[in-house]
Amino acid sequence: MKKERKLILTVFASVFLLWAGYAANAGSLKHDANAAKRLEIIRKNLSGLVEMKYTDANRYYGEALKDLNALIEKYAKTEEALEAQFYIGAVHNEMHNFEEAIKCFDIVLSQGEIDRNFKARALYFKTKALLAKGDIAKAKDAVAELKQIEPRAADSFGQELSGMIRIGMDAPVFNVADLNGKPVDLSKYKGNVVVIDFWATWCDPCIQEFPKVKKMYSKFKDKGVQFIGISLDDDIEDLRGFVKQEEVEWPQVFDGKRWKGLIPSLYHIQLIPTMVVLDRQNKVRYIGGDTENVTQIVTTLLSESKELPLFR
């Protein structure tokens, strides 16, 4: 566990640390020493957040965004301003604001003549954001562009892209027992809209989003929508305690194997929280972590004509 956590922290820290010494080097931009000093302070502050709990770090990420935007405004058309734009994208990635992250990386990439390392990093983290929101087609385009600059970095996405589930495909089926020993057979929910929620009690963003998930469940539970929780917890008692405390009514599946569990592996889950929405024919219609988007998708699916009877 300690080794795994160290690896994760190293990856996150690299977003903010490995950039040291690299300038944007865009032909039409100038270097500003004062902006560089200010950016270095922000970068060091960001690198210290990776070991904090998500709920604690989130506030500081918000402050960092203000500082970065202020730098961009004050030192417009400098290499440092473009570099700050990259960091805004990196911060949004950490905050799971993937749409905003992608916009920031696109601004960097639209600059034109920039340092190859800079461009490779922007493409790499843009791909991460695209995969996190389930946009496989655009992720493949970004990887193809990255391959021209840094083939090894592009190759690291090979397994993710080949295995990822896609919008419109048939959902991988499973037949398991829930936390209470009751069967959870996905094929028997055909005819219902299904929301599969991948989460864990150790995941701060998951806990932060949980009240929204619970509210969404209350809204749709009597309208032909089946919720299934897939827990990536290590300890079954942690899950049992949370389910009891929060009075969770929908089935929870647990096997104690985290990412290597049967269902997370079937669905190639790389990040939690992730919700997968299936239509009445068990086809994938949404992949992502935005509860507002899930609510919209489910509402749309419920308005479509019912071709199959609801499972009871």
Q: Count CA atoms within 13 Å of residue 41 on its CB side.
A: 8
Q: pLDDT grade, residue 49 (50/70/90)?
A: confident
Residue 300 has pLDDT above 50, yes or no: yes
The average pLDDT across 214-226 equals 93
Question: pLDDT-derived band of residue 134, with 50, 70 and 90 as boundaries?
Answer: low
- Measured CA to CA, the distance from residue 108 to residue 62 in angstroms comes to 20
> Does the global pTM surpass 0.85?
no
Tell me whether strands 183-185 and 193-199 are parallel, antiparallel or unpaired: unpaired
Domains of the chain: 2-163 (1.25.40.10), 175-303 (3.40.30.10)
Neighbours of 186 (CB within 10 A): 20
Do residues 150 and 120 make contact, with C-beta atoms less than 8 angstroms apart? yes
Task: Tell me the C-alpha distance between 178 and 227, whole Å.
Answer: 12
Q: Give residue 162's pLDDT.
A: 60
The terminus-to-terminus CA distance of the chain in angstroms comes to: 41
pLDDT score for 3: 38
Region 257-284: what's the mean pLDDT? 89
CA distance 161 to 138: 11
Mean pLDDT of the 117-127 span: 91
Mean residue pLDDT of the chain comes to 83
Helix boundaries (H) for the chain = 2-17, 33-47, 54-74, 79-94, 98-109, 116-132, 136-149, 151-155, 158-163, 204-220, 236-246, 262-266, 291-303
pLDDT value of residue 8: 35
Report, as an integer, the average pLDDT of 270-282. 90
Summarised one tens digit per residue, pLDDT across range 71-113 is: 999 999 899 999 999 999 999 988 878 889 999 999 999 987 7
Q: Does residue 240 have a pLDDT over 60?
A: yes
What is the per-residue pLDDT across 145-191, written as a single tens digit (0 to 9) for each? 999 998 888 887 776 666 566 778 889 999 999 999 999 999 999 89
pLDDT-based confidence at residue 46 (cuts at 50, 70, 90): confident
Give, as one character, the DSSP assignment of residue 261. S
pLDDT at site 20: 43
Angle at which helix 136-149 crosses helix 116-132, to 10 degrees, equals 160
| pLDDT number for residue 220 | 94
pLDDT (tens digit, 9 = 90+) per residue, 2-34? 333 333 333 444 454 444 444 455 557 889 999
Q: How far is CA 70 from CA 27, 63, 76, 99, 148, in A?
A: 23, 11, 10, 21, 34
* Lowest mean pLDDT across 118-127, 290-299, 301-310: 301-310
Q: For 54-68, 139-153, 182-196, 229-243, which range has the lowest pLDDT when averaged over its residues?
A: 54-68
